[in-house]
Structure 1
Amino acid sequence: MRLASTGIRYAALALAVLLTACAPMRRAAVDEGGVSSRLRIEVSYAAGLVPGPLAGRLFLGISPSADPEPRIAAYNSARQRDGRVPFFATDVADVEPGETMVIDAAADGYPYARLGELPSGDYWVQALLHVYTEYRRRDGHVVWAPQDQWEGQRWAFSPGNLISAPQRVRVDPGSDTPIQLELTGEIPPIETPPDTAWVRRVKIRSRILSDWWGHPMYLGAVVLLPRGYDESPEMRYPVVFEADHFKLEPAFGFTAEPPSGEPQLFAQMMRESGGMRESGYDFQRAWTGDDFPRLIAVTIQHPTPFFDDSYGLNSANNGPYGDAIHQE
């Protein structure tokens, strides 16, 4: 037993020595592969821009072009999952004006998981702080999340988010020299399209959701009206409710603009529908015609702090959206 025990101890010692000797070689291989990074992107926001402290998600868009802005190009690239425009992000909290926030090797990224994987080169870069709101919910949880500003939870466009001016810089993950950016701008409020004879918009403060989230919460609707609606206020109509993601546009793509503005998108829609899907412009022409059935189409807007729509139901995570939509 003593010999066996001694043998085990020697084997364990030999294994420890072997692992210790191999560890530097493993780190060097990672470095040579470009995965690790010493680069820091240091970001602050200007004093007087907004009151601090702030919490949120700090984004860095890295684009070969300044048009569109890197934050927008990165967002669109992620939505399309094409990986053409990299971005990186990290959470920040209790940040005062002038205080440094950092994007470094620990930040998450797409399509490169880490900053060290990004090829060195000259890029246009832009920082964005997706500002979070504190919610003290009725279920006892305290949650920090982005309050939708009627943009449909699109961080690159959300009003109140802070942005830096796009800058062209040399990005080298192996460099010790930090890149310094300052957030000097704030994304302005969304411009809601005006009401027309065909389309009306409604937005209300939801008592049910506000009580549950501990913060003002809103529901809305885009209402598509039938021909002759204003001339016959006593008329009653059947209603079609469209369940969709958040949007400011009316149901079924109703628009007076011909589809030539987005030919590629329309062509893709036609392919996906087997050539059976009409454009919103064609639908508008039918809807406003004399022979189209008279009805009302309602698109409900119910963004949450977690997504651009609640799926229209109650949940332990999102709260009583089903009750709010049906009762309010």
Structure 2
Amino acid sequence: MFEHQSQTALPMNARYVTAAVAALCLLVSCSPTPHGSELTVQVTLAESAAAEAAALGLDGPYTGRVLVIVSRTADQEPRAQTGVSGVPYWGMDVSDWQAGTARSVQSGDPDVRGFPLEHVSDLPEGEYTMQALLNVYTRFDRSDGHTVWMHLNSGAGQDLWEAPGNLISEPMQIRVTGRGQTIELALTEAIQPDTPLADGQVLQQGNYQDTDWVKYVKIRSELLSEFWGQDMYIGANVLLPAGYATSNERYPVLYMQGHFPGGRAPLGFGSERGRSVGFQEFWSSGQAPGMIAVSIRDANPYYDTAYSVDSENVGPYGRAITEELIPYLEDQFRMIPAAWARATAGGSTGGWEALAAQIYYPDTFGGAWGWCPDPVDFNYYQIVNIYEDENAYFTGNEWHRVERPNARRFDGNVRSTVRQENHMELAAGPNSRSGGQWAIWEAVFSPVGDDGYPEPIWDPVSGSVNRETAEFWRANYDLHHYLRTNWETVGPKLNGKLHIATGDMDSYYLDNAVYLLDEFLASKPGFQYEVQYGRRKPHCWTGYSPSGSGEDMTNREFVEIVGAYFQKNRRA
């Protein structure tokens, strides 16, 4: 409801003139820097930054993407304030950048892409904190004959804003005048790992110190090293059960899938937040069912996890996990080397990974819990139907265009659109190199393009869908389609093994694809599976408590469920 305000009456023509003048004043006071008075940011790569990067194994000259970030607040570095609803930044690819030289980020350069402001000169006059960052790329001469430049994971998943080895400037207070000006920044240091590298260590997958309860494993993968043309590593965080050190017992294993865990223990062991409250005491008391829990560190040049499948662009991570990492773990720890004794679970990205691992490797795993999974049917790729929609960013007709939402609150309020998040990622890095969610989906699911990078599912600027790429996705990674076309051979191996939960107001509309998969599974006589829908629950909902209280399930309750599942399916 609007409050009425009285005002002195004016003649009609005077009202128009007054309104026009007011509108003009508003335009002048809030308008961006005129394009005739360009704003240029000159970034110098200092010798000090190059020396620190070289000490981490990243030698110059440097190829990568330089980014300039601005913020109106100085309580955090600008690079820590980015996101789909975050502060503006602009990116530009660079190559063969020598220490002691400068590169310019400016409007009018077709290689510069910004978000949410497209041009540097779109930045309004005012006081800002500005910072520059170089996302350092590594050259990969892959076994498929393609040469690509990517960010080699350096222990921070694929968070380019925090990745060790990336180069940054000190945040600097600046004033944008609205007149032609050049702002000078200098990359003076490299982001450092949490702990200094010891002799023989590499940044990949991080380096962590064992504890009594958690052991950290990192191995060189022959499969991935061959694919990428250089040494590639994969790792795991292993949570041991109470009594492990004093017994000879062998244990079943729960593999927790999902985003890069860093040094965190599986299942929130050591945390007292959310679903993990009380879990450490439960696990270490000896009351928990006997099992080992493992989280996988499979960050790669595209993202902080590899989706547990083989991919033309990302590489044979499905085989690396099942043929190299798991056998190594079973050799190093007292794990039961049998399918019934391997369960997999995860939420969101990890939810898709858990289900995909079970579906594509039914003879390796014996049960899967997929919570709020990424799209399991590409008729609902979030809210885009890649098989029928002409455009991913807009729906409507000849006279009306409506932006497709990307994220919502549980009450339906839209937080961002598909176009906005894709344009944000495009500014961070083209060719699926943003380290973001849409980039990894494209990298995992798409065929390799002629340039060696993933074939786009849609034009990243306009949103026009590539139907040929969509058909490749359907044939290879649409889980519902895979089950439908391979049911006679795969279906019997999955009976009783699929457990899914999603909120019916999932923040990213992921519940829609689950409904389609649910309908298909329900049509198969005698097939046992489980799907839970949480009323008005947002993303990352994992199911209701088995107590019947209506509360959300805790990690303790989940481990008890998995323990009972292992006991029921135990083989001699």
Instruction: Tell me if both proteins adopt one fold, taking TM over 0.5 as the criterion.
Output: yes
TM-score scaled by length of structure 2? 0.45
State the SS of the aligned residue for 1:230: helix
Work out which of the residue numbers 195, 204, 211 in structure 1 matches 2:226: 211
Number of the residue aligned with 2:452:
none
Task: Give the distance between the partners of 1:33 and 1:162, measured in 2 at CA.
Answer: 29
Is 1:52 aligned to 2:60, yes or no? yes
- How far is the alpha carbon of 1:175 from its aligned partner? 3.0
CA deviation profile, 1:84-122 (whole Å, cap 9, x unmatched): x22221111111112221221242222223223322211
TM-score scaled by length of structure 1? 0.78
Number of the residue aligned with 1:320:
316
- How far is the alpha carbon of 1:258 from its aligned partner? 3.2
Contact map agreement 2:72 2:129 (CA 8 A) in 1: yes
Number of the residue aligned with 1:240:
254
- How far is the alpha carbon of 1:48 from its aligned partner? 5.2
Number of the residue aligned with 1:91:
93
Task: Give the distance between the partners of 1:236 and 1:282, measured in 2 at CA.
Answer: 26
Task: Give the distance between the partners of 2:320 and 2:194, measured in 1 at CA.
Answer: 24
Number of the residue aligned with 2:40:
40
Number of the residue aligned with 2:286:
290
Contact map agreement 2:71 2:128 (CA 8 A) in 1: yes
Number of the residue aligned with 1:7:
none
- How far is the alpha carbon of 1:141 from its aligned partner? 0.3
Number of the residue aligned with 1:141:
146
2:69 partner amino acid: G
2:299 partner amino acid: P
Task: Give the distance between the partners of 2:74 and 2:168, measured in 1 at CA.
Answer: 14
Q: 1:177 to 1:33 in 2, by over 3 A?
A: closer
1:86 partner amino acid: P
Work out which of the residue numbers 186, 191, 206 in structure 1 matches 2:190: 186
CA deviation profile, 1:54-73 (whole Å, cap 9, x unmatched): 11011112112333211122
Number of the residue aligned with 2:296:
300
State the SS of the aligned residue for 2:246: coil
Contact map agreement 2:219 2:233 (CA 8 A) in 1: yes
Task: Give the distance between the partners of 2:40 and 2:67, measured in 1 at CA.
Answer: 13
1:82 partner amino acid: S
Task: Give the distance between the partners of 2:179 and 2:242, measured in 1 at CA.
Answer: 65
- How far is the alpha carbon of 1:82 from its aligned partner? 2.2
Contact map agreement 1:151 1:190 (CA 8 A) in 2: no
Number of the residue aligned with 1:164:
169
- How far is the alpha carbon of 1:35 from its aligned partner? 7.2
Task: Give the distance between the partners of 2:220 and 2:49, measured in 1 at CA.
Answer: 28
- How far is the alpha carbon of 1:33 from its aligned partner? 6.5
Number of the residue aligned with 2:155:
150
Task: Give the distance between the partners of 1:299 and 1:98, measured in 2 at CA.
Answer: 42
Task: Give the distance between the partners of 2:215 and 2:133, measured in 1 at CA.
Answer: 33
Task: Give the distance between the partners of 1:251 and 1:177, measured in 2 at CA.
Answer: 51
Q: Which has the higher strand share?
A: 1
Is 1:72 aligned to 2:80, yes or no? yes
1:184 partner amino acid: T
Work out which of the residue numbers 71, 74, 82 in structure 1 matches 2:85: 82
Contact map agreement 2:33 2:125 (CA 8 A) in 1: no
State the SS of the aligned residue for 1:325: helix
Work out which of the residue numbers 113, 127, 146 in structure 2 matches 1:122: 127
Task: Give the distance between the partners of 1:290 and 1:179, measured in 2 at CA.
Answer: 61
Over the matched positions of the two proteins, sequence identity in percent amounts to 41
Task: Give the distance between the partners of 1:34 and 1:182, measured in 2 at CA.
Answer: 23
The 4+ residue runs of structure 1 with deviation greater than 6 A are none
What RMSD over aligned residues (CA atoms) do the two structures have, in Å?
Answer: 1.9
Aligned residues: 271
CA deviation profile, 1:1-59 (whole Å, cap 9, x unmatched): xxxxxxxxxxxxxxxxxxxxxxxxxxxxxxx7757461110001112542531110111
Work out which of the residue numbers 196, 211, 233 in structure 2 matches 1:196: 211
Task: Give the distance between the partners of 1:236 and 1:57, measured in 2 at CA.
Answer: 48
Number of the residue aligned with 1:112:
117
State the SS of the aligned residue for 2:244: coil
Number of the residue aligned with 1:24:
none
1:114 partner amino acid: H
1:258 partner amino acid: E
- How far is the alpha carbon of 1:167 from its aligned partner? 0.7
CA deviation profile, 1:243-287 (whole Å, cap 9, x unmatched): 1011121222222x433xxxxxx5xxxxxxxxxxx2x23222222
Task: Give the distance between the partners of 1:250 and 1:300, measured in 2 at CA.
Answer: 10
2:91 partner amino acid: A
Task: Give the distance between the partners of 1:204 and 1:227, measured in 2 at CA.
Answer: 26
Task: Give the distance between the partners of 1:38 and 1:285, measured in 2 at CA.
Answer: 60
Contact map agreement 1:149 1:190 (CA 8 A) in 2: no
Task: Give the distance between the partners of 1:246 and 1:170, measured in 2 at CA.
Answer: 38
Contact map agreement 1:158 1:187 (CA 8 A) in 2: yes
